[in-house]
């Protein structure tokens, strides 16, 4: 099946070393996942593509890497200390907590736009029970930020939070970047990093987790330029999706209704993706106005005005924010590339990953493991390709068919095999190898000296 079910994707991720359950040997920790060697490679390829597309290929972007722990006043200013909450309801018997909006959705009631009180009324009115069949308590707002203590004392002044979004680190560094680089508007700041949310109901594998990674941009603009900039970023996000190999058909835009937008947003588009468990938010694009910079200026007492040299105006810039979750992107890429077909009368699973994302770009095999002359030549070709491409793998384990299958399953676009013809058994094929294409299984002979031409 193209796209795969969640069970198939999770099983492949574990089997082949993409993603493991967090702290698995202790029974796991809900909402945490660990990336294995291939998962890290895929994640880094996605992040590097994002950084190249939105930072290094542009002239108007400034990358930063801010601390995860921030002065708690930043979270008071940004509204997260008061407003970053999800509606929670408790099973009165088991004391287990659930997202009230999720329970309503599952009961066929649309919770969009409902306040906590309205959700409470809807739940009580339709006599909803917990998934265990018990009575439910009252809907309460639950702040999702993880509290932590900084330093040795345990007083209120030492309490801060793990950041729930990377955005905050950019707003508090806006003045630093302006003072160091004197950019003209519009310009942006970009950051890739961890964020933490104490989700009540982490679910769907790496889709909704408690420790996540975001790739975010805060794009500073003149207030009257927001519609143009918003549209420019909308188009840029679609182009990035295409570069990730995400097909148009599975990607959708949702204009978020005013009552469902975050407290800082005047317009939000969710980029939704058809995941195997349904159409859900992949990325977000928001118009944050001057909400954050004005709030930080007020709370910190710093002058965060921008002086426009051309117009001689002083104002607080407005912000367009494209925000991308790394884990959700990786899950979408995996699902989009998952394929099952039949090759040589056998069922096979393969990942049709774009070659610039594949964790392994080329695998090099000696036809037989027990022939030193084949192994030596294969090592030579392997080292040559590794120097050129980096993510090249050597494998002499098991029969050649099994090696092909293993590479198909992790999405390796090319397998290069060194056989007796390479060594000159057929003189006309001396110093040539076979290059096998992952998607078609087709094999072509190519001279070693020209291999880089065959590999894209």
Q: Which residues bind ligand GAP (CB under 6 A)?
A: 165, 167, 197, 199, 208-209, 212, 214, 216, 281-284, 321, 323-325, 327-328
Question: Please, what is the minimum distance in Å from the beta carbon of residue 246 to ligand GAP?
Answer: 13
- C-alpha 217/C-alpha 324 separation (Å) is 9
30 versus 107: smaller Cβ distance to ligand GAP: 30
165 versus 419: smaller Cβ distance to ligand GAP: 165
128 versus 201: smaller Cβ distance to ligand GAP: 201
**Two structure tokens written together for 365:** 């095999």
Question: Please, what is the minimum distance in Å from the beta carbon of residue 38 to ligand GAP?
Answer: 20
**Two structure tokens written together for 232:** 């420019």
Which segments of 107-225 does DSSP mark as H helices, in order?
Answer: 116-125, 167-171, 174-181
- C-alpha 252/C-alpha 249 separation (Å) is 8
Question: Please, what is the minimum distance in Å from the beta carbon of residue 219 to ligand GAP?
Answer: 12
Strands 33-35 and 19-21: antiparallel
Q: What angle do CA 328, 334, 336 make, to 5 degrees?
A: 100
144 versus 297: smaller Cβ distance to ligand GAP: 144
- The SS3 call for residue 400 is helix
165 versus 274: smaller Cβ distance to ligand GAP: 165
215 versus 364: smaller Cβ distance to ligand GAP: 215
215 versus 304: smaller Cβ distance to ligand GAP: 215
Contacts of 369 (CB under 8 A, 6+ apart): 375, 396, 397
Q: How many residues can be counted in the chain?
A: 456
**Two structure tokens written together for 328:** 């959700």
Question: For residue 85, how far is the Cα from the chain centroid?
Answer: 22
Find out whether 317 and 222 touch, Cβ atoms under 8 Å.
Answer: yes
143 versus 214: smaller Cβ distance to ligand GAP: 214
120 versus 218: smaller Cβ distance to ligand GAP: 218
Helices 326-337 and 6-15 cross at an angle (nearest 10°) of 100
Q: Which of 363, 433, 415 is nearest to 393 (CA)?
A: 363
Question: Please, what is the minimum distance in Å from the beta carbon of residue 218 to ligand GAP?
Answer: 9
Q: How far is CA 83 from CA 143, 162, 245, 379, in A?
A: 7, 15, 36, 58
319 versus 416: smaller Cβ distance to ligand GAP: 319
**Two structure tokens written together for 29:** 């920790």
First-to-last CA distance in the chain? 27
Cis peptide before 186 (omega within 30 of 0): yes
**Two structure tokens written together for 248:** 């148009």
- The SS3 call for residue 195 is strand
**Two structure tokens written together for 349:** 């699973």
Find out whether 92 and 134 touch, Cβ atoms under 8 Å.
Answer: yes
**DSSP H or E segment with residue 354:** none
Tell me the residue number closest to ligand GAP, measured at CB.
Answer: 325
Q: Which one-letter DSSP state was computed for residue 394?
A: E
Q: Which one-letter DSSP state was computed for residue 95?
A: -
Q: Which of 373, 374, 394 is nearest to 384 (CA)?
A: 394
Residue appearing with tokens 């036809």: 367
275 versus 283: smaller Cβ distance to ligand GAP: 283
């Amino acid at each position: 099946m193209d796209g795969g079910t969640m069970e198939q994707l999770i099983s492949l991720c574990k089997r082949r070393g993409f993603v493991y359950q967090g702290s698995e040997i202790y029974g796991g920790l809900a909402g945490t996942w660990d990336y294995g060697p291939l998962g890290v490679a895929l994640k880094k390829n996605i992040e590097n593509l994002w950084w190249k597309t939105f930072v290094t290929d542009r002239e108007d972007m400034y990358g930063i890497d801010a601390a995860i722990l921030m002065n708690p006043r930043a979270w008071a200013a940004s509204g997260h200390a008061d407003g970053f909450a999800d509606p929670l309801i408790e099973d009165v018997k088991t004391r287990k907590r659930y997202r009230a909006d999720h329970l309503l959705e599952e009961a066929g009631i649309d919770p969009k736009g409902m306040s906590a009180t309205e959700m409470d009324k809807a739940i009580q009115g339709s006599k909803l029970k917990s998934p265990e069949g018990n009575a439910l308590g009252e809907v309460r707002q639950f702040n999702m930020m993880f509290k932590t203590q900084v330093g040795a004392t345990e007083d209120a002044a030492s309490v801060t939070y793990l950041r729930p979004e990377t955005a905050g680190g950019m707003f508090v560094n806006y003045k630093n970047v302006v003072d160091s680089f004197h950019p003209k508007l519009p310009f942006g700041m970009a950051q890739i990093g961890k964020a933490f949310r104490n989700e009540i109901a982490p679910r769907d594998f790496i889709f909704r987790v408690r420790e996540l990674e975001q790739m975010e941009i805060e794009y500073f603009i003149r207030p009257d330029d927001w519609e143009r900039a918003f549209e420019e970023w909308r188009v840029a996000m679609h182009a990035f999706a295409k570069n990730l190999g995400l097909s148009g058909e599975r990607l959708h835009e949702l204009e978020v209704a005013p009552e469902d937008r975050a407290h800082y947003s005047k317009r939000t588009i969710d980029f939704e993706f058809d995941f195997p468990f349904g159409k859900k938010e992949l990325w977000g694009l928001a118009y944050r106005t001057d909400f954050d910079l004005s709030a930080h200026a007020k709370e910190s007492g710093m002058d965060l005005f921008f002086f426009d040299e051309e117009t001689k105006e002083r104002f607080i810039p407005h912000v367009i924010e494209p925000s991308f979750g790394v884990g959700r992107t990786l899950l979408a890429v995996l699902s989009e590339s998952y394929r099952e077909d039949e090759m040589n009368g056998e069922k096979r699973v393969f990942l049709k990953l774009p070659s610039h994302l594949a964790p392994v770009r080329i695998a090099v095999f000696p036809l037989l493991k027990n022939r030193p002359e084949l192994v030596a030549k294969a090592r030579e070709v392997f080292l040559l390709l590794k120097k050129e491409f980096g993510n090249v793998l050597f494998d002499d384990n098991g029969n050649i068919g099994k090696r092909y299958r293993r590479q198909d399953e992790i999405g390796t676009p090319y397998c290069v095999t060194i056989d007796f013809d390479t060594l000159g058994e057929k003189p006309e094929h001396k110093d040539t190898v076979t290059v096998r294409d992952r998607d078609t299984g087709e094999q072509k002979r190519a001279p070693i000296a020209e291999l880089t031409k065959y590999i894209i």
